[in-house]
Structure 1
């Protein structure tokens, strides 16, 4: 169930897509260049910044640049993040959403859209797993935005959003199991 900072709730009604086993290997390849230093990466950011992952979000906060939208789940590499990271990245949680591992739910897509529409930096605390939200985030983000996520044991992957990236993500998500048309409806709402 999504709850915003006013306490209002909406239905976490259902899963939209599920990652099929045969696509897992494709998602292991980074979608953009990898950087290990948040301050260096931030030099290439000149639009909205969407961070997916607790450690990535933590590095941006430590560098003094809160992401415009951050998606965190209090985990890294399937283990709980340490207390300092957890407290830092969840300190200003504005939205909560449910998104089980290997899925993309309507709840997390609505939370993403809400976060992108807000003027102030917004953190979305995901119950479950936020990893796959990178894909709809690239589609929903404005042209020139930066979507950054962690590549385990390598660094931060930086995707500068273009129409080509959006088309690639749509094609990839069309190969997931589930209701891609409903996902497009949720993402395309203005």
Structure 2
């Protein structure tokens, strides 16, 4: 049974609408600027990166975009990965299962897709906190494009502050990601 370690309060939703990095509409341009390893959060982002010829090292997907089921060809993209981890993560939360899957996927030698039963929208925050220096986290910005977040001290601090601003057990989150 997964434990919720962070829950997004309604008052923070607007704060999370601001992109954490540059917004791209072209996957090739994004990939030219991306570091390694590459972490993708979201079905559509993962699909576009695969279509551009780059399999993310880690992808976190939930089979939905804007709360609607994704098309079959997008769903099929999860078959492109070496390993698969299934987790439960309710809407507007970060669970220990999601964090453990992220940590495991970041350490795995091949590519891993984390398939979320629930919602993966907040996964980009712990992905930035847990990914190594010079990695990149890419997530979708609805109706705008893909956001590229270079993993460095500044972006880690920002994501940590956002998680700490939620109803969260940040110490436990940090322990799982370290």
Is this a same-fold pair by TM over 0.5? Answer: yes
Q: How many Å separate the matches in 2 of 1:18 and 1:46?
A: 29
Give unpaired runs (5+ residues) of structure 2. Answer: none
Given the alignment of the two structures, is residue 77 of structure 1 paired with residue 63 of structure 2, yes or no? no
The count of corresponding residues between Structure 1 and Structure 2 is 177
* CA displacement, residues 59-108 of structure 1 (integer Å, 9 cap, x when unaligned): 11111110000000000010000011111234535111111100000000
Query: Counterpart in 2 of 1:112?
Result: 102
Q: How many Å separate the matches in 2 of 1:169 and 1:15?
A: 18
Q: How many Å separate the matches in 1 of 2:139 and 2:164?
A: 21
Q: How many Å separate the matches in 2 of 1:32 and 1:52?
A: 14
Q: Is the 8 A contact 2:55 2:80 kept in 1?
A: no
Which of 110, 124, 133 is the equivalent residue of 2:123?
Answer: 133
Secondary structure of the 1:31 match is coil
Query: Counterpart in 2 of 1:7?
Result: none
Give unpaired runs (5+ residues) of structure 1. Answer: 1-11
Query: What's the TM-score once normalised by structure 2's chain length?
Result: 0.96
Query: Counterpart in 2 of 1:6?
Result: none
Given the alignment of the two structures, is residue 61 of structure 1 paired with residue 50 of structure 2, yes or no? yes
Q: How many Å separate the matches in 1 of 2:120 and 2:2?
A: 17
Report the Cα offset of residue 48 of structure 1: 0.7
**RMSD of equivalent CA atoms:** 1.1
Given the alignment of the two structures, is residue 173 of structure 1 paired with residue 156 of structure 2, yes or no? no
Bigger share in helix: 2
Query: Counterpart in 2 of 1:99?
Result: 89
Query: What's the TM-score once normalised by structure 1's chain length?
Result: 0.90
Secondary structure of the 1:159 match is strand
* CA displacement, residues 147-172 of structure 1 (integer Å, 9 cap, x when unaligned): 00000000000001111111111111
Q: Is the 8 A contact 2:96 2:173 kept in 1?
A: yes
Report the Cα offset of residue 46 of structure 1: 3.2
Which of 8, 12, 24 is the equivalent residue of 1:19?
Answer: 8
Query: Counterpart in 2 of 1:40?
Result: 29
Q: How many Å separate the matches in 2 of 1:123 and 1:178?
A: 25
Q: How many Å separate the matches in 1 of 2:85 and 2:153?
A: 28
Superposed structure 1 runs of 4+ greater than 4 Å apart: none
